[in-house]
Amino acid sequence: MKEVIMEMERYADTNNVPIIDVESIKFIMKYIKLNNVKKVLEIGTAIGYSAILMANASLDVEITTIERDEKRYREAVKNIKKCSLDKRIEVVYNDALEVNLAGYKYDLIFIDAAKGSYIKFFEKFCHYLNPGGVIITDNLKFHGLVNNKASIKTKSLRGIVDRIERYIEFLNNNQDFITKFYDIGDGLSVSIRKNNEK
Ligand code: SAH
Ligand code: MG
């Protein structure tokens, strides 16, 4: 297991796969343990790195993870098999915005895919949260570029940073959730649904 994880870290490095920062995944694993999380939905599998580590946080965690890139999807399935986690991690090969999850509910939803679609992901998937559920989002600092706009040279990068800023504003203004921002790794947000039930 440890060996497979190190191999994945090397693969990600060589192939420019943006896997999660160590401190961030540690934070999420701790959250899973402390809050007795059982069902996880992940948007953006890449090669299965974060999914495998989340499954390692606790023996009764089950994960559904969505990836739209075929090569990464195949790589993820292979890695998950190697770790014998294929009973607890299901990889869905599709665009997350196309996936139909009717009937499923999750305790934790981890958004870690195309940054331009964060608001869309949140609006779609918040309906699949269990009471007390949480949505965690990665890369809110976008490698330090959010908060350092003057240093951005290309229009497309500026576009992504604008979208992340809009997402942060969206979270701050969302009346149904309370969001805390954490300055760890590449920046994480933790959005907990307010208890509106009578
Ligand atoms: N969670 C992974 C890293 C994910 S990188 C880890 O930490 O190990 C982001 C991934 O999201 C990329 O592989 C990209 O192909 C995928 N992605 C981006 N937009 C997507 C979408 N709309 N639906 C599904 N996957 C998407
Ligand atoms: Mg990420």
Cβ 117 under 6 angstroms from ligand 1: yes
pLDDT value for 147: 75
Tokens 């190190």, residue?
6
Cβ 50 under 6 angstroms from ligand 1: yes
Arithmetic mean of pLDDT, 178-195: 95
CA 5: distance to chain centroid? 18
DSSP codes of every residue in 78-118: HHHHHTT-TTTEEEEES-TTT---TT--EEEEEE-S-GGGH
Between the CA of 19 and the centroid of ligand 2 the distance, in Å, is 6
Q: What is the pLDDT of residues 5-48, one digit of tens each?
A: 999 999 999 999 999 999 999 999 999 999 999 999 999 999 99
Cβ 114 under 6 angstroms from ligand 1: yes
Which residues partner with 137 through β-bridges?
Answer: 111, 189
Q: What is the pLDDT of residues 122-135, one digit of tens each?
A: 999 999 999 999 99
The mean pLDDT value of the chain amounts to 94
Arithmetic mean of pLDDT, 146-161: 82
Arithmetic mean of pLDDT, 166-193: 96
How far apart are alpha carbons 93 and 66 in whole angstroms? 6
Arithmetic mean of pLDDT, 89-118: 97
pLDDT value for 198: 43
